[in-house]
Amino acid sequence: MSLIGLSTQNLVKRFGGLRATDGVSLEIRPGELHAIIGPNGAGKTTLINLLTGELRSDEGSIKIGGEEVSGTPVQHRVGMGLLRSYQITSIFDAFTVIENVCLAAMRKRGVRWAVWKPMSAYADVMEKARAIIEQCHLGEVADTVVSNLAYGQRRQLEVAMALAADPKILLLDEPMAGMSAAEGAAAIELLRSLKGRYTILLIEHDMNAVFSLADRISVLVYGKIVATGSIEEIRNHPEVRRAYLGDDADA
Partner 1 sequence: MNRVKLGAWLIPVLFLLLACVPFVAQAIGEPFYITFFARVLVYALAACALNLVLGFAGLVSFGHAMFIGLGCYAVGILTYYGFSDGWLQLGVAVAVCALVALVVGSVCLRTSGIGFIMITLAFAQMFYFLMVSMTTFGGDDGLNINEPSNFGLFELSGSSEVYWAAWVVLLAATVFMARLKKSPFGMVLRATHINPRRVNAFGYSVFRVQLAAYVISGVLTGVAGVLLANLTAFASPSYMSWPVSGDLIVMLVIGGLGTIVGPIIGAVAFLVMEEFFKGLTQHWMLIMGPVIVVIALLTRNGFGWLTRQREVQSAQTRAPVAGEVPAKAAAVPAGEAQ
For the bound state, the minimum distance from the C-beta of residue 91 to partner 1, rounded and expressed in Å, comes to 7
Closer residue to partner 1, CB minimum distance, 103 or 213: 103
For the bound state, the minimum distance from the C-beta of residue 233 to partner 1, rounded and expressed in Å, comes to 26
For the bound state, the minimum distance from the C-beta of residue 92 to partner 1, rounded and expressed in Å, comes to 5
CB 25 within 8 A of CB 224: no
Residues that bind partner 1 (CB under 8 A): 15, 18, 20, 40-46, 49, 52-56, 74-75, 78-79, 83-84, 86-88, 90-95, 99, 102-104, 106-107, 110-120, 122, 147, 165
DSSP annotation string for 127-190: HHHHHHHHHTT-GGGTTSBGGGS-HHHHHHHHHHHHHHT--SEEEEESTTTT--HHHHHHHHHH
Closer residue to partner 1, CB minimum distance, 14 or 235: 14
Closer residue to partner 1, CB minimum distance, 123 or 182: 123
CB 220 within 8 A of CB 13: no
Closer residue to partner 1, CB minimum distance, 93 or 239: 93
For the bound state, the minimum distance from the C-beta of residue 198 to partner 1, rounded and expressed in Å, comes to 16
CB 229 within 8 A of CB 211: no
User: Hey, CA dihedral for 35, 36, 37, 40, is it positive or negative?
Assistant: negative
Alpha carbons 18 and 21: distance in angstroms, whole number = 9
Alpha carbons 155 and 134: distance in angstroms, whole number = 15
Helix (H) or strand (E) holding 240: helix 238-240
Closer residue to partner 1, CB minimum distance, 2 or 75: 75
CB 102 within 8 A of CB 94: no
For the bound state, the minimum distance from the C-beta of residue 221 to partner 1, rounded and expressed in Å, comes to 12
